Amino acid sequence: MSEFDDEEYESFELDGAGRSAEPVKKTTGSGAGGDDDIEDDDDDFDESDLEDAADDEIDFVLAAYREDGQPYVQSLGKDLANDLDELIIQLRRLPGDAGALGFVSLVEEVFVITRVRGQHVQVLLSDAAAAADWPIARDVVDYLGEEPIDEDEEEGEPIGDLGIVADLGLSDFDMGAIIDNLDLSSVEMLVDVADKIKLNPQFRKAVEAAVG
């Protein structure tokens, strides 16, 4: 294939084992009259306080997969940038021979990478403190079974599997180095990740189509 449109780009093999997925349980609070309606601990995180990221705060939601040996990268609905559980469901539905990768970037500051292979799911959040601001970041923290992060103490620390694409050519050490480069936006970080796993220039083209 010599040309690609905005919905179809070159991707890569998605081999390698992930960990077994568990359903993401989102905290929505109890109904009226329940004991949980009484806020008696100011330190408790109430996910209902988080507003969904608006369209102009979502840089892109992209998926990469391979079907019948043909690689693809495509845009997904921006609503998936607010719900890890639904993102996993949609990635699992893609016709990939060896699973799929999802890439989410928010306000050019935070990214989430999700890798789904059947019931095996891996996740990586570039900044654990983002759980205080963004629903999908909070979902990642919940999925990993971690406690909410103190934003002042842990800002900028990644959480999840730094080796999420190690078998594709980007080690956990090199992933950490990309995240630690504060001169890069989250969009640039993911483009760099794509470069290391030999997804560019197609991934970059998909990003440019998404962000305009």
DSSP letters spanning 107-163: TTTEEEEEEEETTEEEEEES-GGGGGT-HHHHHHHHHTTPPPP-HHHHTT--EE-TT
pTM score above 0.75: yes
Instruction: State the pLDDT at residue 79.
Output: 96
User: What's the pLDDT score for residue 192?
Assistant: 95
Inter-residue contact 59 to 210 (CB < 8 Å): yes
Give CA–CA dist 166/175, Å, rounded.
Answer: 9
Buried/exposed code over 119-155 (b: 16+ C-beta within 10 A; e: otherwise): eebbbbbbbbbbbbbbbbbbbbbbbeeeebbeeeeee
| pLDDT tens for the chain, residues 1 to 212 | 434 344 444 444 444 444 444 443 333 343 444 444 434 444 444 545 789 999 999 999 999 886 776 677 889 999 999 999 999 999 999 877 777 899 999 999 999 999 999 889 999 999 999 999 999 999 999 999 988 766 555 456 999 999 999 988 899 999 999 999 999 999 999 999 988 987 777 888 999 999 87
pLDDT, position 77: 94
Helix axes 172-180, 186-196, angle to 10 degrees: 150
The residue type at 132? A
Give start and end residues of each alpha helix (H) in 5-147.
84-93, 135-143
- Residues 142 and 176 sit within 8 Å (Cβ to Cβ): no
Question: Do residues 11 and 73 lie in contact, with contact meaning Cβ atoms separated by under 8 Å?
Answer: yes
Residue 150's pLDDT is what?
Answer: 63
Q: Is 23 helix (H, G, I), strand (E, B) or coil?
A: coil
- Looking at residue 156, its pLDDT comes to 67
